[in-house]
Structure formats: C-alpha cells, structure tokens
Chains A and B, each alone.
Chain A
Amino acid sequence: MTALTLAARDSSTMVRRQLKRLLRYPSMTVQLVVTPVIVLILFVYVLGGTLGAGLGGGRAAYVDYVVPGILLMAVATAATGTAVMVASDMSEGIVARFRTMRISRGSVLTGHVVGSVVQQLLGMAVVIGVALAIGFRPNAAPLEWLAAAGMLTLFVVAVTWLSVALGMKSPTPEAASNAPMPLILLPFLGSGFVPTDSMPTALRWFAEYQPFTPVMETVRGLLLGTPIGHDAAIAVAWCVGIGAVSYLWARRTFDRA
C-alpha cells in the first residue's frame, strides 16, 4: 500500500470513529445547532424590526441581511466545540495508543476535522431551513447556491483546522473552550448583523479588513445578489491562508506532543 492510500484508509477509519462519537454524544451537536437558531430568532423578532428599518426595509429585509452572519456565528460557536473535543481526546489514553501504532500520523486530526465539518454543514442546513421558514428569501440560482455552499465549506474547513490547533495547544478541555471565544465576536465586529458603514472609524476599519467580513459579503452576494466585487477572492485567500497555517500548526503540535 502506498503512503497515500494508507493515509486515506486510516483517515477514513478515524472519520468513522469521530462520527460515531458525535452520535454517542449528541448534546454538543444539539447545542451547536440550537444556539445559532435562537440567535437568529432573537435578532429577527426582537431587534429585526428596528434594524430592518435602518436598512431601509423592515423585518423581512433584516432576515435576508442577517442569515450569512448567523451562519458564520454558527461556525465560530462550533469551533469551541471542536477545540474542546480535541483537547479532551488528546488527554485520553486512546490517542497515546494511536501514537504507538503504525498508522498515518495525521489521520487522528483528519478524523476530527471531517467529523466537525460534517456536523457543522448539517447544522447550517438546519439554520437555513429555519431561516427559510421565518421569511429568508434568497434569489440565488442553483449554481449560486452551490458556490455559496462551497464558500461556506471552505470557511468551515479553515476555522475547524484552527480550532483543532487551538484545542491541541490547550492544556485542558476547559482552557480549550476559551481559546476560540474571540471568533464568536467577529460576525458582530464585521458586516454580520449591521452594515459596517454605521460604525466608528477605527471599528469600521477593523470590520472591513477582518477575515469574516469578505466571507459574509460573498455568501450574501451569492444568495441575495448584493455586489461581491473583490470580496470573493479575498475570502478565498483568507480561508486558504488560515487553513494552511492552522493545518501545519496542528500537525506540528501533534507530532511533538
């Protein structure tokens, strides 16, 4: 067997392990799906009337605006779960056992990443379903839906590798739950919930140049037809950069520990 097929085989074994674990421990998944749904409902029904008026529409306009922000917030929330899962797995004897076996070194991490990505894509489908039920009206063609899904998947993969690295760097699962916390703020400190135009200069500068904003603008553009401009290219560059650096960081940490 070549090194590559060996790696693929071990990785798929580890993905199966991780999916089984997620099924056995559903409370984490439920929390990751329920939290963004609650935030969506709060923002639409509590704040949406006023915020929508500011956008020049009403509650209906705000549902359309806020969905990409909620989706990225869901990814950021899930990052916490992934980091905790990885940190607690690393503290268990089973990972020490894997290290003493002749298996592809990266497969343990790949298992975590693929498991989390699957979990988050399912979560996003639920959020989009709820959004459609309460008035989200995207005008995207099938190809645009596909592109939006691709953009979100790329983003999820990048953030998940980052949370895996953060989880491995954390001494305890408790510490791991804090590490990705700042990510949850990024949709707020960007164009997730209100357009950046209304923000004070410094904040606005940060909001426009941080990585979450181009991703949200791209998804918004694909689903709702707002202008995308350079955002798509910038978003892809951010995702590839964050993903690649996090991947190398995670692998290095795993090989050293």
Chain B
Amino acid sequence: MIRLLQTWLFCSLLLVSILTRAELTFEVTQGADNPVPVAVVPFGWEGIQGLPVDVAEIVSDDLYRSGLFSLMERENMLSFPSQGGDVYFRDWRLGGLEYLLIGKVLPDPASNGYRVEYELFNVIEEQRIAGGFFGGAKKDLRRLAHRVSDVVYEKLTGIKGAFATEIVYVTASKVSKDRYNYRLQKADADGANAQTILESREPILSPSWSRDGKNLAYVSFETGRPSIFIQNVATGQRQRITAFRGLNGAPAWSPDGKRLAITLSKDGNPEIYIIDIATRNLRRLTRHYGIDTEPSWSSDGGSIIFTSNRGGKPQIYSIDLSNNWIERLTFEGDYNARGGLTYDGRHLVMVHRSNGVFHIAVQDLKTGRLDVLTETYLDESPSIAPNGSMVIYATQDGTRGVLGAVSIDGRVRFRLPAKFGDVREPAWSPYLQ
C-alpha cells in the first residue's frame, strides 16, 4: 500500500513538473558554429524547504537558447562550488571549459523574498569577471534568474541580455464547428508563467507593447466589429481607443507612448493615421486608393514605415512625419509586408515572399542587402527582441501555428512548440524594469 502510494506520489509529482514546464517549450534547431563552453553550477541554497525553481537550470536554458553557448552537463561536474573560494580551476579546465558561473540563493528577510548571488569566472585566466546579486519577491525568483542570465550574456558577448523580458501572443482553439476561443496571453521570454490577458469568442490580433513595457494595444472583435484597445499590463485596466466604421487595426505605439499609429478605413480605403491617446485627435498620414496598413515607428519617432500595395504588390514604404515625404524601402520580391525596424534603425525586418513562399527576411538599410532568415512554412508576424539579437515570429507546424525565433544574422534558430491550440502574433516586450 505504501509502495502504491509512493508510486502514485512520484507519478503525480512528475505530472506537476510536466505541467509547470508551461505552454511553450524550446528546442534549438540550429546553433552557432563554435559555441562557447560554459558551466552553470547548481546554485547553493540552505533552506529547509526546497526552492520553487532551479535557478541554475533557468540560466543554463537561457544561455543554451541563445545558440551561442554549449552547457556542461551536471553529471560531468566534479564539484558544486557556490562561492569563489571553493573553485578549483584545474577541475573546470578539463574538457576545454572557458567560463564558470556559480552562485547561491539566500532568504531575504527584509523583503520576505530571495536574494540571488552570482559569480562568473574565466576558467582559463582563473579570474572572476563578474559578480553581484539580485533581490526580489518569492514569486519573482525566475525573473531574478533571468537577470543573472542577462549579466552573463552581456559579459560574454558585449550585447545587453534580453532574457528578463516577456512576450505576448494570441492563441486560437476551435471549441465547436463554428466557435473559436481566442486568448491574448503573456509569458516570460522563455515561455514560462503564461497568463491570459483577454479571452474572447471573437478574434484578437495585432498586440503591441508600449516602449516602457507598461501598456499593450491590440485589436479585438469582441463587439462583433474590430476595435482598438489599450490595456495596462499590471492593473488590467483597459480603454477602447477607436471603433470607427470599417477597419480599426494594426496599432503601434509611438516611442513617447502618447500616440498610436493605426489603420482605419472610415474614409473609404485603408489609410494610416496617428491618434493622440489623451485627446483622441486624428492625423491622417496617407491618401491612396490602394491598401496602406501595418504602421511601425522608427526609434526616434521621426518616421513611420508601413505596408502598401500602391505600386502593384505589397511593399514597405517609409513616411517622414515632418514633411509627409513617402519613400519606398523594399524592391526585392513581390510581397514584402509587416516591416519593423531594429532599435538602432539599421535593419528592416519583414515578411518576404520569394518563389511563392513566405519567410522572415532582414534588409540592411545602409547597403540594401536582403537576407532571408527562416526556412519554415508560412512565416509571419516578426517581432524583434529589445537588444536586436533575435526575432520571434509565427510559423506553421502541420495545421497548427507555432512560434519560432531566429538570430538577426540567421545563424541561430529555435522554435517554441505550443502544447495547446494555435499560437500566433508574438510581440517581444522592451526591457522591463
């Protein structure tokens, strides 16, 4: 009987651990050619009860997912040091390891939370190259682990880490013949902590983050017609911004967070407008009988890029907001749409069709060179990480929508197979406070 109970307990624990792996799990499909070997030692913890999450595992997964590092297996580690004095570099140089991360988790009585201490070593030079701590509430332990990943990534690559960020995305599942269930969801950038922000029987699309990470804008058909809403991420408080006759779509936040660029067809054709959120004043930007949609701001707020079929096929254009001067940006291929600029303004990421196949492509705006980044099927909705290193996008696996990610140089790829429903329209958050 006890045996049976033990088996049952084991099985249910297993089930819990599978369920807590959340809705999205990652799988690196292609990594960099020469990944840097790193070991992340299990973090020390002296508490009586176990920790809710394995900090070292989260950091390892983050680094692995970047495609730039190879991680040492725990069973190959000769010791588990948690402070600098316990590190014997000779042990770690075996197998060509280059960097070692150790640390420990301590209770933080002041905040009734945790304090995560970490130290990063260059094993070859036997030097400590970074160290510090992050503290926060118990529920934020995963976030603290991602902050450690950010430090390691920045130290080793020179690029600011974007692991302690979030993504929003839309899922759709068919409930019955004519009924769908749409959800706007938010998760950590590694897919954990998925939460539903909005649930509806009617379509939800085009989620967009404000640059401070505090608000979302999206399109919801909850009234039976499309409307643009904005919603505060922390409080859930929402406002309907537009519900004009016709299209109300493609909201994109201005860098100052005060305006949205949107698509409306109230005056006949789909045109780009800017709406001031406080006053609701509209400024019309385009006048053309073709389709103009999918606006996206440059980082300095001085121009907006958008998709238009004014030249015959969908291509990406830019409009200068000081003089309304319109310039065509894309010339390669017969379908370029849903453009987005990297934060430094150097690259244009878009949906590109070549030979009848839709992929994510990046165009260097200085040289004009266009590179196709993905090889999956029906790729769309690219969204750029705040550090410009990766692009998350929607693709198809059989008849299901799943999310994929690719580095901006196309060398690293991974996918996030969804456990439930059809996942689409990912939007990567900016850096979060």
Q: Do A and B bind each other?
A: no
